[in-house]
Chain A
């Protein structure tokens, strides 16, 4: 009897110790955290141009990952910082987060004008930086950065895709051979607009298109009437435009009032990605305008994605609607940041912790270099792979990223190109109902 009692006491004791140990480990696990500095523009002109929506996408993803219990025992501790639409503030905030807040890494960045200097600074401080949004090739090109990674599409790809789209459809839809197509390129003159316009011009020249005008302007210019007049004089068939927000609506309004006519207008992300705002400002005039961007995650066929992803897409959409109840057309911006952040939290970070034993910049870098996600493996549909040393002049750039051409019709967004993803037969040229139709 006494033996039995002793044995029972022994097992109860053992169980208590196990529970205590487990709780101890649990407490320890919950204590572990990765501090991430999240930088977007929450104020200033870029905020309304799409940055606040990108910030929302990143936040939704961070909250989602934390709600699921974090990553390999690490909870995400975000410290949100506002770059105020100013490059100098972005640099100061990045340095403050690294040196004073002691963050483990940085994530975010909407504006290319900020990304270019910040990426170099962060890399020199040997900290890890995961870019969800800014697209300028100048951020990574010929810089051989070690700790900066961008799963996002880069600007030249945007510029090339719109020209590919025209090349494939010009003859069939408009009856104009690509070499006779009169193309005008206008862009905001920062690294973002210049990068995309460079891609436009390079591809258009390669295909022998007739480039009638290529011109940059300041996104804060109070008047674009001279630009519109010049376009009228050059009579382009197609306008390729890259801008932020106030300048896009100003251009479209002045173009309409001054009677500019064309056969197609292709925008490239940023302000063109916020369909709700465009429709609010310009009404149905927005119909049939194209926008090149990474695809809106809500437009993709769930069957084309890995089995676990459609549920995440739906979750991001639900949180988006909760945060912005009056949204009519879900902006691609939110899904873009959410997807690119999702890649980091579900692929790079777990590998850094499990395989390389930590969340320091070196472990994160090694883990990112091993990222190998096939097409259909991200919410945005494209795969992710970063070039190995010496393989590319754009180290840290996702080589598997690709944008799509979308078209706005009656407040809905459709995929017009590439053909494999099409949800609409592209309407080209502009129908007579458009005030811009030639």
Chain B
């Protein structure tokens, strides 16, 4: 108990809370694209984290082998993942829009293994690293914050605002929102749903590229990096209410705070036990997601 009290009133608990917020920024960024795609097209891309992985490879090769500045390499990564998103819809999802959800899930699950295998054959199993560190911001003698994580947080918040504005204020955004509300009726109104789906998939893919740029600065790139993030991203989306971008954004922070606080007071793994336990409980209480609007 004394240990617990000491930990609670220590300056390091403050650091833990801040770390939770910053991890939340990473998870929020990861979940944005997946949520957008689900919200509009009503299909869960299980392979989303693998598209991020391919984005990380693109950035790595452009920056390390191609000698491009990091910003340009990141832009290249966003371009490639946007194209991958477009292709995923054009070549796979487009044909499965009316299929049973389980078949859609299996198809994107197949893509997950395809992307993993492709990366392994093309790039090998070696861990690659950008070797870039943005350093950290010293708040006090004891508390340092990673610039990469601060950047992830800022970009995630920025993207949510921009996307929200885009969806609520632009003509295209209105069309995307309308199609997410009723797919059948929009066709009758003369809207080209196919085009809108492709555009949404490309935007979702591009967001994966943005996440890839920030992850590549924090993690090694290898064909299986998606396994570390795929399940957790999916859970964040479900907890926020699949398709609800603001809900997903908030859920990312609930999830990350539980992980870091649990990991601070007990062993690291207990943080995940706490977060996943909360997820299960939340699914019982609000199966439609914590932040889903009541219909």
Q: Do A246 and B127 touch (CB < 8 A)?
A: yes
B156 within 8 A of A: no
Q: How many residues of B contact A (CB 8 A)?
A: 50
Q: Do A48 and B131 touch (CB < 8 A)?
A: no
CB distance from A84 to the nearest CB of B (A): 10
Which chain A residue has the least Cβ–Cβ distance from B142? A232
CB distance from A173 to the nearest CB of B (A): 26
**Chain A residues positioned under 8 Å from B12 (CB to CB):** 229-230, 232-233
Docked CA distance A249–B219 (Å): 8
Q: Do A43 and B228 touch (CB < 8 A)?
A: no
**Chain A residues positioned under 8 Å from B260 (CB to CB):** 223, 225-226
A245 within 8 A of B: yes
B106 within 8 A of A: no
Docked CA distance A44–B7 (Å): 38
Q: Do A222 and B19 touch (CB < 8 A)?
A: no
Q: Do A245 and B23 touch (CB < 8 A)?
A: no
Q: Which residues in window 220-258 of A have CB below 8 A to B? A: 220-227, 229-230, 232-233, 245-246, 249-250, 253-254, 256-258
* 9-residue interface stretch from A143-151, A210-218, A370-378, A406-414: A210-218
Report, as a range, how many residues of chain A touch the other chain. 35 or more
Query: Which residue of the partner chain, among A224, A229, A249, contacts B16 with CB atoms under 8 Å?
Result: A229
* 9-residue interface stretch from B95-103, B169-177, B179-187, B263-271: B263-271
CB distance from B82 to the nearest CB of A (A): 24
A259 within 8 A of B: yes
CB distance from A411 to the nearest CB of B (A): 14
**Chain A residues positioned under 8 Å from B120 (CB to CB):** 43
B133 within 8 A of A: yes
Q: Which residues in window 197-234 of B have CB below 8 A to A? A: 218-220, 222-225, 227-229, 232
Query: Which residue of the partner chain, among B127, B144, B267, contacts A48 with CB atoms under 8 Å?
Result: B127
**Chain A residues positioned under 8 Å from B219 (CB to CB):** 222, 246, 250
Q: Do A257 and B144 touch (CB < 8 A)?
A: yes
Docked CA distance A47–B271 (Å): 28
Query: Which residue of the partner chain, among B7, B146, B220, B271, contacts A246 with CB atoms under 8 Å?
Result: B220
**Chain A residues positioned under 8 Å from B228 (CB to CB):** 220-222, 246
Query: Which residue of the partner chain, among B19, B125, B127, B143, contacts A43 with CB atoms under 8 Å?
Result: B125
B138 within 8 A of A: yes
Docked CA distance A85–B125 (Å): 11
A126 within 8 A of B: no
- Known: A217-B268, A253-B218. Contact between A229 and B15, CB under 8 A? yes
Which chain B residue has the least Cβ–Cβ distance from A42? B125
Q: Do A245 and B220 touch (CB < 8 A)?
A: yes
B193 within 8 A of A: no
Query: Which residue of the partner chain, among A42, A48, A233, contacts B10 with CB atoms under 8 Å?
Result: A233
- Known: A45-B222, A47-B125, A220-B227. Contact between A215 and B268, CB under 8 A? yes
CB distance from B261 to the nearest CB of A (A): 8
Query: Which residue of the partner chain, among B125, B232, B261, B267, contacts A44 with CB atoms under 8 Å?
Result: B125
Q: Do A254 and B146 touch (CB < 8 A)?
A: yes
Q: Do B232 and A283 touch (CB < 8 A)?
A: no
Docked CA distance A317–B263 (Å): 44
A280 within 8 A of B: yes
Docked CA distance A282–B130 (Å): 9
**Chain A residues positioned under 8 Å from B224 (CB to CB):** 44-45, 85
Q: Is the interface of B mostly helix, strand, loop or mixed?
A: helix
Which chain A residue has the least Cβ–Cβ distance from B16? A229
Which chain A residue has the least Cβ–Cβ distance from B146? A257
B259 within 8 A of A: yes
- Known: A225-B19, A229-B16. Contact between A246 and B10, CB under 8 A? no
Q: Do A216 and B10 touch (CB < 8 A)?
A: no
Which chain A residue has the least Cβ–Cβ distance from B138? A259
Which chain B residue has the least Cβ–Cβ distance from A233? B12
Q: How many A-B residue pairs have CB under 8 A?
A: 125
CB distance from A405 to the nearest CB of B (A): 24
**Chain A residues positioned under 8 Å from B22 (CB to CB):** 225
Q: Do B131 and A281 touch (CB < 8 A)?
A: yes
Q: Do A259 and B142 touch (CB < 8 A)?
A: yes
**Chain A residues positioned under 8 Å from B269 (CB to CB):** 189, 216-218, 221
Q: Do A226 and B127 touch (CB < 8 A)?
A: no
Q: Do A281 and B268 touch (CB < 8 A)?
A: no
Docked CA distance A225–B259 (Å): 10
Docked CA distance A49–B128 (Å): 11
Q: Do B146 and A227 touch (CB < 8 A)?
A: no
Q: Do A215 and B136 touch (CB < 8 A)?
A: no
Q: Do A283 and B131 touch (CB < 8 A)?
A: yes
Docked CA distance A102–B232 (Å): 42
A63 within 8 A of B: no
Query: Which residue of the partner chain, among B125, B145, B149, B271, contacts A226 with CB atoms under 8 Å?
Result: B271
Q: Do A280 and B268 touch (CB < 8 A)?
A: no
B135 within 8 A of A: yes
Docked CA distance A189–B273 (Å): 15
Which chain A residue has the least Cβ–Cβ distance from B232? A222
CB distance from B270 to the nearest CB of A (A): 10
Which chain B residue has the least Cβ–Cβ distance from A271? B127
Which chain B residue has the least Cβ–Cβ distance from A226? B263
Q: A226-B268, A229-B264, A257-B136 are in contact. List 12 more A-B contacts (CB 8 A).
A: A42-B125, A43-B223, A45-B224, A48-B126, A215-B267, A216-B268, A218-B272, A225-B22, A230-B12, A232-B12, A246-B220, A277-B127
| B interface residues with partner A (beta carbon < 8 Å) | 7, 10, 12, 15-16, 19, 22-23, 120, 125-129, 131, 133, 135-136, 138, 142-149, 218-220, 222-225, 227-229, 232, 256, 259-264, 267-269, 271-272
Those 8 A-B pairs whose CB atoms lie nearest each other, nearest first: A226-B263, A281-B129, A259-B144, A257-B146, A47-B125, A225-B19, A217-B268, A257-B136
A-B contact pairs, 30 of them (CB 8 A): A43-B125, A43-B223, A44-B224, A189-B269, A216-B267, A217-B267, A218-B269, A221-B269, A221-B272, A223-B23, A224-B268, A226-B16, A226-B259, A226-B260, A226-B261, A226-B263, A227-B263, A230-B264, A232-B15, A246-B225, A249-B127, A249-B220, A256-B136, A257-B136, A258-B19, A258-B136, A258-B144, A280-B128, A281-B129, A281-B131
